[in-house]
Amino acid sequence: TQLLEQSPQFLSIQEGENLTVYCNSSSVFSSLQWYRQEPGEGPVLLVTVVTGGEVKKLKRLTFQFGDARKDSSLHITAAQPGDTGLYLCAGTGANSKLTFGKGITLSVRP
């Protein structure tokens, strides 16, 4: 069974701070996706990473896929209250089904 561990589980920071959160697995995934989910809504795709070592930037968000395609990190620069939400990573396995981590709950205080 493929498992994804996300850490930390909860994070509360002040506006303007930088942060890095992690998504780790003992399994190799063909691709990995990061989503953000607001309460009462579905996950919204942020990025898909495919190549080991790949780095993708989305404004103040930087995503990195590990060289061995087992782990990923998300770095947010100068966090803003609008970044508050649940961040989910998901790895693509056999038959394209996604294995999700439990998520990281981020709170950015004004």
Partner 1 sequence: NAGVMQNPRHLVRRRGQEARLRCSPMKGHSHVYWYRQLPEEGLKFMVYLQKENIIDESGMPKERFSAEFPKEGPSILRIQQVVRGDSAAYFCASSPSTGSLQETQYFGPGTRLLVL
Residue 33 CA to residue 21 CA, distance in Å, equals 14
Residue count, binding to partner 1 (CB under 8 A) = 25
Choose which of 28, 45, 55, 78 interacts with partner 1 (CB under 8 A).
45
Helix (H) or strand (E) holding 82: none
56 token code pair = 């993708």
How distant is the alpha carbon of residue 27 from its chain centre?
Answer: 16
Nearer CB in complex with partner 1: 33/72? 33
Window 5-44: contact mask with partner 1 (x via CB under 8 A) = -------------------------xx-x-x----xxxxx
Counting contacts by CB under 8 A, is residue 74 touching partner 1? Answer: no
Residue 7: alpha-carbon gap to chain centroid: 10
Q: How far apart are CA 40 and CA 24, in angstroms?
A: 26
Q: How far is the CB of 65 from partner 1 (least distance, A)?
A: 13
- Site residues for partner 1 per CB under 8 A: 30-31, 33, 35, 40-45, 48, 50, 88, 90, 92, 94-103
